[in-house]
Chain A
Amino acid sequence: MLQVDISDALSERDKVKFTVHTKSTLPNFKQNEFSVVRQHEEFIWLHDSFVENEEYAGYIIPPAPPRPDFDASREKLQKLGEGEGSMTKEEFTKMKQELEAEYLAIFKKTVAMHEVFLCRVAAHPVLRKDLNFHVFLEYNQDLSVRGKNKKEKLEDFFKNVVKSADGVLVAGVKDVDDFFEHEKTFLLEYHNRVKDASAKSDRMIRSHKSKICFKFEPFFLKVSELFEKTRKIEARIAADEDLKLADLLKYYLRESQAAKDLLYRRSRALVDYENANKALDKARAKNRDVLQAETSQQLCCHKFEKISESAKQELIDFKTRRVAAFRKNLVELAELELKHAKGNLQLLQGCLGILKGNT
C-alpha cells in the first residue's frame, strides 16, 4: 500500500513549499507514515529522471505539474494597493477580497496539480517502485536539485528538435496521432478562448455592478442588488467552467503529450530495430562482425518488443482514464451550469416579483 498526498502548502515570496505526506506499508521505507517538504523544482527533477530512464521507455510518464504562477495575481494585488487612494473604502475592500480569492484559487489549483502527479506515480505498478521516487518521498533534507543550467536547457532543446525531426520520419499510430493533433490544436485555441471568456465574463460581471442609489428611483436599488448577486453567480460559473473544462483539457493536453512521447520512443526503437536488421544483413553478406551485429539486433528487437508490449497496455489505460475523467468533468460541468442558471433564475424571478408588486 502506498498513499501519497500534499497535506499542506506554503506560499512564500517567489516559491511554494509543498508538504508531501506518505502512508505506506512497503518495507522500503523506514517508517509507515512521514512527511517532507518539497519545492516545484524537485518535482521536475523527479519527472525528468523518469523520462531519462531507459527502463521506463515503454510507459506513459505522468506529465510534470506546471510551474506555480502567481505573477499575474500578484501584479493585480500590487496595482490595487497603488490605486487604494483613488477608490472608496468599500470598493477597495471588495476588490481586495476578490483578488485574494483569485490568489487562493490559483494556489489551490497548483497544489492539486502537484498532488495529481504524485498520485499517478504512486498508482503506476512500475513507477511506484522507482528509487528516486522513494528518495523524493522520504529524504527529509533538500534534494539540492538546481534548475537546469543553460547548457542543460540547450541540450534539452536539441533533443526536442531531433525528436520532432524524427517524428516526421516515423509515422506512428495514425489514428491516435490524429487525435492528439486535434487535441493539441483544440487545446491551444480553447485554452485561450476559455481564459479569455472567463476573464471577459468576469469583467462583464464587474461592469454589471452599478452601485447606483437613486433618490428618484428606489426600485433601482433593488435592481442593482440583483445585479450584485447575479454577478457573484456569473463569477462562480466562470470559475467552475475553468475548473471543469479548461483544467481538464489542459491536463489531458499534457498527458497526451506524454503518450505521444511514448509512441515516439516506440517508433525510435522500431527504426533502431530495422536499422539493426539491415546492418545484420550487410554483415552476413560481407561475413564480417556478424556476431556483433547479431547481438545488436537482438538487443534492439528485445527493446522494441518490450516497449510495444507495455505501450499497448499503457495506451489502453490512458484511454480509459481519459474517457472516465471527461465523463466525470462534463457531468459535473453540466450540473454546475444548471445549478447556477437556476440560481440566476430565482434571483430574477424574485426581483421581478418585487418590481411588479410595487406600484
Chain B
Amino acid sequence: MFHFHAQNLFQLEEEEEEEEEDKFDIFVSVKDPEKIGETTLPMFRNKTFTVRRRFSDFLGLYEKLSEKHGPNGFIVPPPPEKSLLGMTKVKVGKEDSSSTDFVERRRGALERYLQRVVNHPSLLQDPDVREFLEREELPRAVSTQALSGAGFLKMINKATDAVSKMTIKMNESDVWFEEKLQEVESADQQFRKLHALVESLVVHRKELSLNTASFAKSAAMLGSAEDNTALSRALSQLAEVEDKMEQLHQEQAANDTFTFAEMIADYIRLLGAVRGSFDHRMKAWQRWQDAQSMLQKKRETEAKLLWANKPDKLQLAKEEIAEWEAKVTQYERDFERVSATVRKEVIRFEREKTKNCKRQIIKYLECLLQSQQQLIKYWEAFLPEAKAIA
C-alpha cells in the first residue's frame, strides 16, 4: 500500500523565457506504511523517500506509460493538463486567491494521479514508475509539448471520432463492449455538465460571501449609530453572525472546489482514458482485419500465378502466404488479449470509480453538514440577544 503526500513549494524562477514547461517544484513524499504481518514491497530500496519532480516529469511519465501499455488495452491514468493561464498567473506572482487555488488544485490532481498509477497492479511493476518515484534526478522529458490541455483533449477526441467511425464497420460479436462504450460516453457528458454547474456554484458562493461581508460591515455601522442600547448590541451581534457566515461561505466554496469539482474533473479525464483503451482495442481489431484482407490478396495472387504457371514467383507467393497466415493468427490472438484486458480494466475502473466517488461525496456532504451545525450554533447564540431588545 502506498500513501502520497504532496506538499507545495512553488518558486518563481526567472529563466522562463525559453521554457514552455512550468517550473513547478513539488515535493512528493511517499510513505510506505508497514502492514502488520506483511513485508513491504521488495522492489523499493527504502521504505520512505522523497524526490523532487517537475510538472513536466509527470507528463513525461504518462507519455511513457501510455505508449507502452495503452496499446495493450490498459487504462493509463492521465495527469492534469498544462494550463498556460494558470501558470502564467502564478509566475507573474499574482497573490490572489485564484492562483493559490490553482496551485492547490494542481497539487491535488498530481497526487491523485500518482496514487492511481501505483494502485494499478500492472503499472506498479513498470520500471519507469519505479524510476519516477526513486531516482534522484530525472532527465528532462522532451516531447511533452503535445500534452497541453487543448492538445490532450484534441488527441482524445480524435481517437474517439475514429472509434465511432469504425464501430459501424466492426462486427461487434461482443455486445458488452458496445454497451459499455455508450455508457462511458453518456457518463462523460453528464460529468462535464455537472462540473460546469459546480464551478458556477463556487463562483456564486464566493459572491455570496463577499456580499455577506459588506452586509456585516453595514450592520455594524448601523449598530453603532443606534441609540437604543439593546438594539445596538443586537445589531452588532447580527453583524458578527454575518461575519462568521461569510467565513463559512468561503470554506464551503473551498469544499465545493477541492472535494467535489476536482473529483469530477479527474473522472472526466479518466473517462477519456477509458475511451482511449476502447480505441486501442479497435486498432487491434483493424490490424487483424487488415492482415486478413492482405492474406486474401496474397492467396489470390498465388491462384493467379498457378494459372500463369510461373514457378519461381509462385514460391515467393507461398512464402508470403505463410507469413501472413502467421500474422493473422498473431493479430487475432492480440485482439482477443487486448479485448480481455480492456474488459478487465473497465470492470476495475467502474469498481474503483464507485468506491472513490462515494467516498468523496460522503466527505463533501459531511463538510456541508458541519457547516450547517456551525450555522445553527451562531444563530442560537444570536437569538437571545434579539429577544433581549426592549
A interface, CB within 8 angstroms of B: 175, 178-179, 181-183, 185-186, 189-190, 193-194, 196-197, 200-201, 203-204, 207-210, 212, 214-217, 219-220, 223, 226, 319, 323, 326-327, 330-331, 333-335, 337-338, 341-342, 344-345, 348-349, 351-352, 355-356
Contacts and interface: CB of A to CB of B under 8 A. Distances in A.
Interface in B139-160: none
A326 B389 contact: yes
A175 B380 CA distance: 33
B222 A210 contact: no
B204 A204 contact: yes
B130 interface: no
13 contacts: A186-B218, A189-B218, A190-B218, A197-B215, A200-B204, A200-B208, A203-B204, A210-B197, A216-B183, A342-B372, A355-B358, A355-B362, A355-B365
Given A212-B194, A330-B389, A223 B219 contact: no
List of 9 A-B pairs having minimum Cβ-Cβ separation, nearest first: A182-B225, A204-B204, A327-B389, A330-B386, A197-B211, A334-B383, A345-B372, A348-B369, A331-B386
A221 to B, nearest CB: 12
B96 interface: no
Contacts of A200: 204, 207-208, 211
Contacts of B298: none
A173 to B, nearest CB: 11
- Central interface residue in B204, B207, B375, B383, by most chain A CB within 10 Å: B204
A214 B369 contact: no
Given A330-B386, A331-B387, A352 B375 contact: no
Given A182-B221, A331-B386, A348-B369, A194 B215 contact: yes
B221 A186 contact: yes
Contacts of B366: 352
Interface in B213-264: 214-215, 218-219, 221-222, 224-228, 230-231, 234-235, 238
B362 A352 contact: yes
Contacts of A341: 372, 375-376, 379
B255 to A, nearest CB: 13
B365 A319 contact: no
A214 B194 CA distance: 12
B200 interface: yes
B170 interface: no
Contacts of B215: 189-190, 193-194, 197
A212 B190 CA distance: 7
A334 B378 CA distance: 10
Contacts of A190: 215, 218-219
B245 to A, nearest CB: 9
B231 A204 contact: no
B205 interface: yes
B219 A345 contact: no
A342 B377 CA distance: 11
B204 A352 contact: no
B72 interface: no
Contacts of A355: 358, 361-362, 365
Interface residues of B, number: 54
B186 interface: yes
A341 B369 CA distance: 10
B200 A179 contact: no
A338 B204 contact: no
B373 A193 contact: no
A334 B386 contact: yes
Given A186-B222, A190-B218, A331-B387, A207 B197 contact: yes
Given A331-B383, A355-B361, A345 B221 contact: no
Most buried by A among B197, B219, B366: B197
Given A223-B361, A331-B383, A207 B201 contact: yes
A330 B362 contact: no
B32 to A, nearest CB: 28
B205 A204 contact: yes
A323 B375 CA distance: 26
Contacts of A333: 386
Given A186-B221, A327-B389, A349 B369 contact: yes
Nearest to B355: A359
Contacts of B207: 196, 200
Contacts of A356: 362
A338 B221 CA distance: 25
